[in-house]
Structure 1
Amino acid sequence: MDQAEQLRNIVKQQNKKQRSARVITVTSGKGGVGKSNVSVNLAIQMSRLGKRAVILDADFGLANIEVMLGTRPQYNLADMMFRGKDVKDIICTGPEDIGFISGGSGLREMTNLNKDQILSLVRTMYELDHYADVVIIDTGAGISDTVIELVASSSEVLLVATPEPTSITDAYALLKTLHRHDGFEAGSTSIKMIGNRIQSYEEGKELYLKLNTVVNKFLGMEMEYLGAIPYDECLPRAVMQQQPVSLAYPDAPSARAMLELAMVLEDEKKEIEPMDTAHGLAGLFTKIFKHQFRSK
């Protein structure tokens, strides 16, 4: 029995025992478009909707999530993978009782895992289902190998873009790279665009139509439009205060828009098959590893 088959068997066995946490991967074609802001505020709003939300920070080398949440984790994913820490050891508690996991260099080091480490990691990831209803992965910006690997293995992807021409161009570049990735299966991944720093509803819809038309024509891919977040002065003010806008200014237009997006996502959950092995953090890692096995 090869490693990929062993992973599939683990997933099947675990899915018979329990449901998987929902995994939502938030990404963007370039930095500076508010991706991490979206991740944090969505987690807070989902917590307010009664969901146990955990953020996994996969934006290596930066501490944006830590700054926004006002927390400094003692341990990260690499400590669990290589230094014997449990899942409960690496989850920090943030505002509104959301959880936070620092990726450290753990995801980047996955390519060097041996067979036993891979199987152990996948088993361990199922423990997260006891702590979370939804896991939001905040990826790095751009088209690095780690970002594309995560997005290609995800069943739900939120693509954050702004009306700036560079944001649109880079968002298309990310989707083009994703389309060419061997591990990407268009039918297994739902890609939803979020327009950020939008001046009006019409501008948000126009941004989506512009990008989706090009993506559909040249890549044969289809995106959905999740919604838009308006620009307001409370957003940069909250950033300066090192607080999520949903906490600092809960009645601000941007904070209300985050709540609406969370409510739409929660409504869509009813359509997700609970035993789909693509869901759950262990399921996501399994897809990544299976692709690595095929590539070797």
Structure 2
Amino acid sequence: MSDNTARDSAYKEPVILLGLGAMGAALADAWLTAGHPLTVWNRDPRRAEPFAARGATVAATAAEAVASGRLVVLCLLDDDSVDEALTGADLTDRDLVNLTTGTPLRARDRATWAQARGARFLDGGIMAVPPMIGTPESGGYVFYSGSAASFEDHRHTLAVPAGTRYVGEDPGFAALHDVALLSAMYGAFSGIAHAFALIRREAVDPEKFAPLLVDWLTAMVPAAHTTAERLNSGDHTSGVVSGLAMQVAGSATLVRTAEDQGVSTALLSPYLNLMERLLREGGHDEEDTARVIDLLVG
């Protein structure tokens, strides 16, 4: 190994971090632990004190922090907080990495805004909670989208707190992937809640029922691959075991059971209603239910 290679491998890129809430603090801890020079700013400076004690530089203002280096990571409350923090900051030749939760449209607007001010822009969607940050075995990762050049320049530094998954140059794609996965999660949570509601008043131990539920859902999850294949191919009939007509007929039992158990169908009905609507359109009796997606997107 040459001396230059040794120096390159030992180099720790400086990071500027705006925002020290729960997630921001976890990011700060990860970068400091890994030996990266860190400059931090937070609206309440008291949150910066523990990091100052560990060697971080504390900026008096966000603009001062931004002026201190190239890689600027934002992990703030919302888009308005980002606007406020960056007011008056010189973004020329900066790489902005926005890990503030937002929508795809706002990410695209932010990218245009940043580029007009001389900065490269990456948006990020964090698929982790703070305790998972800085813990590789946790499986946490961050979606990134926007400037491919910026991502390549900083990918090793960005990978310190959590794994990285670059999903394209469209700045909105990180938020889109983030929200799509979270939406699927809440859909699963709604099904879990309905299942437990059905057994709630019966002599069924929830803790004994839970493994059955987990095993069943795990067996169903690969249906996502089949759905993706059908969306790409347009083939909604090959390999279908239980067609739409059969599923709609069977769903009546789900509704009656809920009614008999005194359980609301508020979490169940929206999807069942979509299946019924698709069946009424005609011509879909033997199809897979994946086509309900077309009803959602118009």
Give TM-score scaled by structure 1 length.
0.36
Q: Relative contact order (alpha carbons < 8 A, sep ≥ 6): 1 or 2 greater?
A: 1
